[in-house]
Chain A
């Protein structure tokens, strides 16, 4: 990536693909729309029904998918770099599970506001990552990426159990919401959700952008980070909290969507991008494209039924995970 023209062309190409995927996501659905109708409706022209479909249903859904993907991609890139772990991502580390517990608990207590719900998720996510790291450390092998992953899966299983306990005497509406969270979906997108998620993704992304150079150094390991003047304990705690915030906000908005944070940073690295500032920006872009594309697949695979978005990303992510796992040994 030393040639700036090549780099610029590469980014422009990726951005174009993401844009086309987003337009396709707006065009396809129960009422398929042509490119002309989509562009016209986005600008406010055309018949009222088309404009309504595009502006109140399809556009918020596509934007929500883009934001969820950006948040998960950035969280995954930051976690992989700071933990020096090619398998790290919010879902596998149990962070998303913790966030879902927080969200379900908040809903069970009747709190569903734009501020309370993501913050309850964040509390659950932060607790989950702290526990996963403690469990990995206590088992003495936190240098082995697989041990941390095991700890994350255990935390995720615990989170699942906690959700079931919370649901055991919940009203039907809460159960429906919780199930929706467990499977992941951007189908209930509203502009309000889009706006607050945009706020969290922008803040989290800006913080990661600011700390990106520290992540570069953290990825060299504790001793070399210390030699370069970075307190790895403090710097990585900050990064874990920001990654937890990003994951929690996506969970509160769209539920559990796994493996995006795993796959996306590897895709960005395969484009020759190594430094974390560029890596995080690339992960936001490619993550956005991946989730909007996955949502398109979810809607197109078996119409008129919709597949859960989390299932689509898992079907994509699990084989990828196995390849990465094999690469470790």
Chain B
């Protein structure tokens, strides 16, 4: 379980905290989604977990242990994080890139996992990119690269998966298959923490939604609790309609076209 307990992150010289007194947890066996407008602090939560954005106060725990007390490599064996963006300067064959996911499990002199080692082959399979194994990372489409990064996360393995906007460049089929994969990981007993802009998919796949606004938790609970027009309109500052997803009955969101009085002034 990943738990944020009163987490505050204030970047140097910033007037307001990027993350302000955030408390929630992502338990094992469930998909927990963090949503919110651009700049609401979602990615800062991930950077704080990676100890790239130091906590001003509060703490983050993994299964009850504060990350400040965890060795980085030991933590990387438990918590798998796929950051929002990653670019490679030097190309690698896809399978070698995926094999780098085993880094926290390997000592400096242990043998390099090969293309056919179980962890690598299985990760390539589960991410649906076995056919790309020999391709160079510089010859992938945006969607393929995204799936290759997920494969590296699967090769890394752990009890918690944290994914920052993992389906940004994916088409419908690949996006759906990724969400199905995340749901399956949760069902297998992992804690899945998902940062996403895809409110409708999150409403269908997440057990808990945490809505952030200006660094604070604006709402948290089941999709039915959070996906209410009154809540979301305030946070996103845009008129919305909440209906019911006809397929599965989850709440579904439709942004409306006409602007309400509190919409941001937009030069057109």
Chain A interface residues (CB < 8 Å from chain B): 2, 80-81, 84-86, 145, 210-213, 216-217, 219-224, 226-231, 269, 274-275
Given A86-B89, A220-B86, A227-B81, A210 contacting B112 (CB threshold 8 A): no
Contact with A along B234-265 (1 / 0, CB 8 A): 00000000000000000000000000000000
Q: Which residues of B contact A213 (CB under 8 A)?
A: 103, 106, 108
A-B contact pairs, 6 of them (CB 8 A): A211-B108, A217-B100, A227-B76, A227-B156, A228-B103, A274-B91
Taking CB atoms and an 8 Å cut-off, the chain B residues in 107-165 that contact chain A are 108, 112, 114-115, 156
Q: Which residues of A contact B106 (CB under 8 A)?
A: 213
* In the bound complex, CA of A300 to CA of B142 (Å): 51
Q: Which residues of A contact B83 (CB under 8 A)?
A: 221, 223-224, 227
Partner of A226, one of B51, B91, B112: B51
| A230 lies within 8 A of B72 (CB) | yes
Q: Which residues of B contact A217 (CB under 8 A)?
A: 100, 103
| B103 lies within 8 A of A226 (CB) | no
B75 contacts the other chain (CB 8 A): yes
| A228 lies within 8 A of B100 (CB) | yes
Other than the given A213-B108, A223-B86, A227-B50, 17 more pairs (CB < 8 A) read A86-B89, A219-B90, A223-B50, A223-B83, A223-B85, A226-B50, A226-B52, A227-B81, A227-B156, A228-B76, A229-B71, A229-B73, A229-B74, A229-B76, A230-B72, A230-B73, A274-B96
Minimum C-beta distance from A140 to chain B (A) = 13
* In the bound complex, CA of A275 to CA of B93 (Å): 11
B101 contacts the other chain (CB 8 A): yes
Given A229-B72, A269-B90, A274-B96, A223 contacting B47 (CB threshold 8 A): yes
Minimum C-beta distance from B9 to chain A (A) = 15
Given A2-B115, A274-B96, A84 contacting B103 (CB threshold 8 A): no
B82 contacts the other chain (CB 8 A): yes
Given A219-B88, A219-B90, A275-B112, A227 contacting B82 (CB threshold 8 A): yes
Minimum C-beta distance from A266 to chain B (A) = 10
* In the bound complex, CA of A84 to CA of B86 (Å): 12
Tier of interface size on chain B? 35 or more
Q: Which residues of A contact B103 (CB under 8 A)?
A: 213, 216-217, 228-230
Q: Which residues of A contact B75 (CB under 8 A)?
A: 229
* In the bound complex, CA of A223 to CA of B85 (Å): 9
Minimum C-beta distance from B35 to chain A (A) = 20
* In the bound complex, CA of A203 to CA of B32 (Å): 49
CB-CB nearest in chain B for A84? B89
**Which 10 residue pairs are nearest across A and B when measured between Cβ atoms?**
A229-B76, A223-B83, A229-B73, A227-B81, A226-B50, A229-B104, A84-B89, A229-B72, A228-B103, A274-B92
B206 contacts the other chain (CB 8 A): no
| A226 lies within 8 A of B72 (CB) | yes
CB-CB nearest in chain B for A274? B92
B80 contacts the other chain (CB 8 A): yes
* In the bound complex, CA of A114 to CA of B252 (Å): 74
* In the bound complex, CA of A194 to CA of B13 (Å): 52
| B92 lies within 8 A of A221 (CB) | no
CB-CB nearest in chain B for A266? B90
| A274 lies within 8 A of B93 (CB) | yes
* In the bound complex, CA of A211 to CA of B109 (Å): 10
* In the bound complex, CA of A279 to CA of B115 (Å): 19
Given A213-B106, A213-B108, A217-B100, A228 contacting B88 (CB threshold 8 A): no
Q: Which residues of A contact B77 (CB under 8 A)?
A: 229
B87 contacts the other chain (CB 8 A): yes
* In the bound complex, CA of A33 to CA of B85 (Å): 59
Q: Which residues of A contact B81 (CB under 8 A)?
A: 223, 226-227
Partner of A210, one of B51, B76, B108: B108
Q: Which residues of B contact A2 (CB under 8 A)?
A: 114-115
* In the bound complex, CA of A142 to CA of B180 (Å): 38
* In the bound complex, CA of A221 to CA of B51 (Å): 14
Minimum C-beta distance from A219 to chain B (A) = 6
* In the bound complex, CA of A230 to CA of B104 (Å): 8
